[in-house]
Structure 1
Amino acid sequence: MSIAIIPARGGSKRLPGKNIRLFRGKPIIGYVIEAALASGCFTEVMVSTDSEEIAAVARQHGAQVPFLRSADNANDHAGVAVVIREVLQAYAAAGRHFSRACCLYATAALVRPARIQEASRMLDTHPEVEGVITLVRTPQPATRALVVRDGSVAFQLDQMQFARSQDLEETYFDAAQMYWLRTAPFLARESQTMAFLRRLPLVLSEFETQDINTFEDWQLAEVKHQFLEAHPEILQTGAVAS
């Protein structure tokens, strides 16, 4: 049995009301809930929130909200792992247990049912791993990044000044879209993070992901969403058909 957990705290500061803000005419969390339901991967699709308003919107789109998140885990410092643990323990106390969980971000409007299914199959075919994380490749290896120190530009790592990008190991960002995990190894270790799990990467294209922290991020996510609607072949080929 698998559960989709969608964390959606009510206290977003950088973009107030972000989790239910209208995204191309629909609350952004609605896209995520609908993708989870359409994937057919889950026994339960639930939203973890401290907000009655978010809970009402979540239910309208088909998610379950059997309880509100505790105040201790509804602050700026509560990480995703803590929220997942709280949800799994609350369900267990009610006699419901899940062998796998998938955390889907409430603002991951670019997530597609096919990608959720793909990540689920990765766990099916690799019993030795404990999770799957979505990544996106950095445009250039991050080991050759520049920084600004005291108003002056410098290499973050001095030894990389003369390194050729083609000789460097590729680097990735967390795509902040979804995390699949096996619940037994996760619950067996009291941790504030999921980094200890043995995880496989599901690498997404830049078209498929957009972390949203600013209004500009939001606009870019809407552009990508509209573009993917017009070019669904990107999800299969990674390129626009001519």
Structure 2
Amino acid sequence: MNHSESAYGLWSLVILNSAIFIMFAFSFFKPATGRDWRTFGAFAAFVVALFVEMYGFPLTIYLMSGWLQTRFPGLDLLSHNSGHLWSTLLGEKGDPHFGVLHIASYIFLGYGFYLLSTAWHVLYHAQRRNSLATSGPYARIRHPQYVAFVMILLGFLLQWPTLLTLVMFPILLLMYGRLAVTEEEEMRSQFGDVYDLYAKRTPRFFPNLSPSSGTPKD
């Protein structure tokens, strides 16, 4: 294994990057209720765990170091590029930042933040009118903000997978799913038949690809 200068122990970058992404998401999501804060808090915990391993201490690389050295002799485990494990495991050559998965991660991140912003704008005005949000992304799916958070998390996982964030991801999916069901119960109590009609024609998470699609998917 080569021993170049370590790309870790950069705790100032951990704090800076965590703060940037958390505040960026906060500016779009603007949590107000306890449910909002739970949603946002889980996202923030994922982001911090990600950047701790990306720039602070590479726990995943450390735990896998024996297998990685055997499978990929000559791999510099302390370099930043080695932390892009998908690139390493798939045997990609060159700078991983220009790999297919890394480019895909930018698409997920970009569209996720865009969807989060657009959904919040629609929801904010609906709440001010005390009406049901049914326009914009809410016309295609019932929970665009939760979908946006999942897209952002998936984008991060495509870019820099870690054991901790891989464990957290399905837990967050279950959490967001339960929060969505709870939110629907509250909306049904508030709007009654209006919400039932909206829920009948609008899928929960996955938009219908065509108007002729059958029963909405959850």
Fold shared by both chains (TM-score > 0.5): no
Bigger helix share:
2
Of structures 1 and 2, the larger Rg is shown by: 2
Bigger strand share:
1
